[in-house]
Amino acid sequence: MWNVDRNIAVGGVALATILVVLDKAGKLKGTLLLILLAVAVFMLTPVLLALPWVSHATPGSQIWARRSLIVFTLGLIWAGLSVWVTNGPPTAESKVGVGIPSKKTLDLALTPHGNSSPLLCLEVKNQGEDASITATIRIVSKSYGDLFDTRPYVGQWTLLSYKRRFGDHGPQPRASAVSIPSGTYRILEIAKVIPENGKNDVSAAYLVGSKECLQWDFEQNAYSKLPTLRLDIEFLDQGTSNSLRKIFDVGPVHAYGPLGMTEVAA
């Protein structure tokens, strides 16, 4: 009987050693590891209970107390090993948490349009799952020294489903949030060129949703550097809080030409 108990105990020690090695190598984690560790530790029970100090104790409360001490000691050993193997760096799964969706980057394809129109806009195509998107825009800098408002403003989206009635010459309705099903696109309006009243040689580009604008003189800027605005645009999915952030330079392409926008590396 002693040989069988001893072999079981040796197997338990070997199993515990292998489990710890697998844990440190990142091959075995989680609940299964703790269960196997418990099995390995309690494989020592028979050989410890067969010790003379326990087996030769007076029947009754003495032998019960000594056997309980052996069991509780093994439980303490298991608890210590469990704390040791679970006290490593947090994994990606543990950071997410149960029932809390992980925050990801939106899969959006962004294409500027404005070469043949006074309106500069950004085509936003959703290449991921269906999403309800808002855009927050902030002016980062101007190419010349005028002061500007650094507070973020809400981007305005063109309502593609709006049908203008005959004789309706009012402004195109816009929305601050749009639903973009997977594989479809929506239009985010960025800026619009409006000639300055009484100034035939001056033009201005007004940011849609903001009071800020760019102004330039046709004659003065025909052969000099044209003004630009740097915009920080953050797209947010209201359902999942997933986001995408991009930076663009916005300004006239030519002194007499349309507006353009170029993505800038963050």
* Shared-domain flag, residues 198 and 239: yes
Q: How far apart are the first and last CA of the chain?
A: 72
DSSP line for 44-87: THHHHHTSHHHHTSPTTHHHHHHHHHHHHHHHHHHHHHHHHHT-
Residue 135, in any domain of the structure: yes
- How much is the average pLDDT of 106-129? 89
| Average pLDDT of the chain, as a whole number | 79
Residue 55, in any domain of the structure: yes
- Between 28 and 260, the more confident residue is 260
Percentage of the chain beyond pLDDT 90 is 27
* Shared-domain flag, residues 66 and 140: no
* Shared-domain flag, residues 143 and 220: yes
* Shared-domain flag, residues 150 and 205: yes
Residue 97, in any domain of the structure: no
- Token duo for residue 30: 């989680």
Look at residue 15 and give its three-state secondary structure.
helix
Number of domain units in the chain: 2
Lookup result for tokens 């269960």: 35
**Parent domain of 70:** 2-88
pLDDT of res. 40: 81
- Token duo for residue 266: 């963050």
* Shared-domain flag, residues 52 and 23: yes
pLDDT of res. 220: 60
Residue 117, in any domain of the structure: yes
Lowest-confidence pick of 98-102, 159-163, 226-230:
98-102
* Shared-domain flag, residues 132 and 239: yes
* Shared-domain flag, residues 248 and 155: yes
* Shared-domain flag, residues 155 and 244: yes
- Is it the case that residue 97 has pLDDT exceeding 90? no
Q: pLDDT confidence of 179, banded at 50, 70, 90? A: very high
Lookup result for tokens 């009754």: 60
- Is it the case that residue 73 has pLDDT exceeding 60? yes
pLDDT of res. 162: 46
Spell 200-217 as b/e; 16+ CB within 10 A means b: eebbebebbbbebbbebe
Q: Is the pTM higher than 0.75?
A: no
Q: pLDDT confidence of 168, banded at 50, 70, 90? A: very low
Closest listed residue to residue 261, CA positions, set 180, 189, 201, 203: 189
Residue 96, in any domain of the structure: no
Closest listed residue to residue 230, CA positions, set 92, 112, 138, 160: 138
Residue 99, in any domain of the structure: no
Q: pLDDT confidence of 156, banded at 50, 70, 90? A: very high
Lowest-confidence pick of 98-102, 104-108, 125-129, 134-138:
98-102
* Shared-domain flag, residues 237 and 125: yes
Distance CA 221, CA 216 (A): 7
Task: Quick: pLDDT tens for 39-64.
Answer: 888 887 877 777 788 777 778 888 88
